[in-house]
Amino acid sequence: MTRPPVYVTRPILPPLEDVYSLLQEIWQTRILSNGGPILQRFEAALGQYLGVDHISMVGNASMGLVLALRHHGITGEVITPAFSFVATSHAIRWAGAEPVFADIDPVTLNLDPVEVEKRITSRTQAILAVHCYGTPCDTAGLQRVADRHGLRLIYDAAHAFGVRENGRSICTSGDLSVLSFHATKVFNTFEGGAIISPDRETKLAIDRLGNYGIVDETTVLETGLNTKMSELNAAVGLALLPQMDSAIATRARLANHYSDALGDVPGLRAVCPPGRAGHNYYHFPILVGDGYPISRDALYERLRQDGLFARRYFYPLISDLPMYRDLPSAAPSMLPVARRAANQVLCLPIFPDLDPVDQERIIGIVRQPC
Ligand code: T4K
């Protein structure tokens, strides 16, 4: 009997009855949006869960990134990785600024501070770094570069829900961090996201910018946008939060099993090997290199033949896409590490209810693809 397809991820959902009781509240109050009571409870509960004090909920991380850049008035050059989801660079353009690509570290696949410093010009205003797959960036190294050159440091923390470093949320690094709660993420509100601010004043300014710049009924202070999260999305998030510790623990167990089972395969390297305290195992990326019997793309196709849909996050490089490839920093010779990663990476399915039988099927094919 053929088994159902297995995708790279599958969202977790809260118990329907918990959402239903929140929906009943919405139906009674008729407060559907604009910072309603459920959103406020969600904001407080999420802050407590993550260990951060100042959160602004947004409709998705893409809008959150635009808002973060706009809040700091960034319209010049922004140094960012080409090895990321396209939303990272698109947000820079939507904010009215220009991406400048810098190469990544070969181990973490995150921005390399040394490469960042090489790309700084008189027009550079900010660094937009990505905690790729939830692995923390070299936050100290990037902060040193930012401080030396008077740059803003903003984190695309779309992958980094719940990630901690030295006992603190990774989202307390830099000037601002932006989380994604998209369906495909570790934690979801169907669509959604959040901006983590360092203080209350910044949080309130960001809330205002995401609510058209409105101060009160007759005062509009700036050209804001509508980036608000609805009560419906907030209800899903509030109901899902209690499951998150066990969901992340299950991801860690699955990642451990992949690591143990694939650790001795010649030509393969796991990008996020388990054992790192505070990781969330959003993806299980492997690099398919020399010494492996077939190419990355052949392995991707081989898995697909059996209904196992691994994904090449992130291929192609953003710098190879038509709207970016003419930028000077997009020249292929300038991003050798990112290019190699994009050509070798394959994210194996990982999500809390991955059936152990399916994980064994994936492991079996990856160990012996021919
Ligand atoms: N920055 C970074 C670094 C990001 O990775 C992202 C988003 C963003 C910023 C922007 O965040 P948001 O604005 O989205 O909040 C997916 C996601 O759509 C995207 O959110 C995510 N990164 C990116 C890495 O992956 P696709 O085009 O690969 O998604 P899709 O539809 O192919 O979904 C992958 C698999 O997930 C499907 O094969 C099946 C499963 N799935 C998907 C959805 C949407 C489900 O089971 N249920 C679902 O509802 O981009």
Angle of helix 37-50 relative to helix 231-240, nearest 10 degrees, comes to: 40
Q: What is the pLDDT of residue 30?
A: 98
End-to-end CA distance of the chain: 22
Measured by CA distance, the residue closest to atom 44 of ligand 1 is 183
Long-range contacts of 322-331 (CB under 8 A, 24+ apart): 323/93, 324/82, 324/89, 324/99, 324/101, 327/98, 327/99, 327/100, 327/101, 329/99, 329/100, 329/101, 329/102, 329/119, 330/82, 330/101
Q: What percent of the chain has pLDDT over 90?
A: 97
Q: Per CATH, which fold does 16-241 belong to?
A: Aspartate Aminotransferase; domain 2 (3.40.640)
94 neighbors 233 (Cβ within 8 angstroms): no
Our mutation pick for probing the ligand 1 site, out of 184, 300, 317, 321, counting the most ligand atoms within 8 A of Cβ, is 184
If you measure from the C-alpha of residue 161 to the centroid of ligand 1, how many angstroms do you get, rounded to a whole number? 15
Measured by CA distance, the residue closest to atom 24 of ligand 1 is 85
User: Could you tell me which residues are beta bridge partners of residue 7?
Assistant: 309
Find tokens 């991380």 and name the residue: 61
Ligand 1 atom at shortest distance from the alpha carbon of 62: 13
Q: What is the pLDDT of residue 1?
A: 64
If you measure from the C-alpha of residue 30 to the centroid of ligand 1, how many angstroms do you get, rounded to a whole number? 31
pLDDT > 80? residue 275: no
Q: What is the pLDDT of residue 310?
A: 98
Average pLDDT of every residue of the chain: 97
Q: Give the start-end residues of each E strand in the chain.
A: 6-7, 54-58, 77-81, 98-102, 124-130, 152-156, 164-165, 168-169, 176-180, 193-197, 214-216, 219-220, 268-270, 284-288, 308-309, 345-348
- The residue extents of the domains of the chain are 16-241, 244-367
Strand order, beta sheet including 345-348: 268-270, 284-288, 345-348
pLDDT > 90? residue 276: no
97 neighbors 78 (Cβ within 8 angstroms): yes
Q: What is the pLDDT of residue 186?
A: 98
Please choose, from the candidates 240, 252, 238, 237, the residue with its C-alpha nearest in 3D space to the C-alpha of residue 354.
252
Q: What is the pLDDT of residue 332?
A: 86
pLDDT band at 277 (very low <50, low <70, confident <90, very high): confident
Pairing of strands 308-309, 6-7: parallel
CA angle 299, 305, 309 (to 5 degrees): 70
If you measure from the C-alpha of residue 314 to the centroid of ligand 1, how many angstroms do you get, rounded to a whole number? 12
- Judge if the beta carbon of residue 130 lies within 6 A of ligand 1: yes
pLDDT > 90? residue 174: yes
Taking only the tens place, the pLDDT of each residue in 85-114 is 999 999 999 999 999 999 999 999 999 999
Supply 365's token pair: 């094919």
Measured by CA distance, the residue closest to atom 23 of ligand 1 is 85
CATH number belonging to the domain at 244-367, selected among 1.10.580.10, 3.40.50.620, 3.90.1150.10, 3.30.70.360:
3.90.1150.10
- Judge if the beta carbon of residue 313 lies within 6 A of ligand 1: yes
User: For the chain, how many helices (H) and strands (E)?
Assistant: 12, 16
Taking only the tens place, the pLDDT of each residue in 35-76 is 999 999 999 999 999 999 999 999 999 999 999 999 999 999
Taking only the tens place, the pLDDT of each residue in 119-152 is 999 999 999 999 999 999 999 999 999 999 999 9
Q: What percent of the chain has pLDDT over 70?
A: 100
Find tokens 């004090």 and name the residue: 53
CA distance 6 to 350: 10
- Return the sign of the alpha-carbon dihedral for residues 12, 18, 19, 22: negative
Pairing of strands 176-180, 193-197: antiparallel
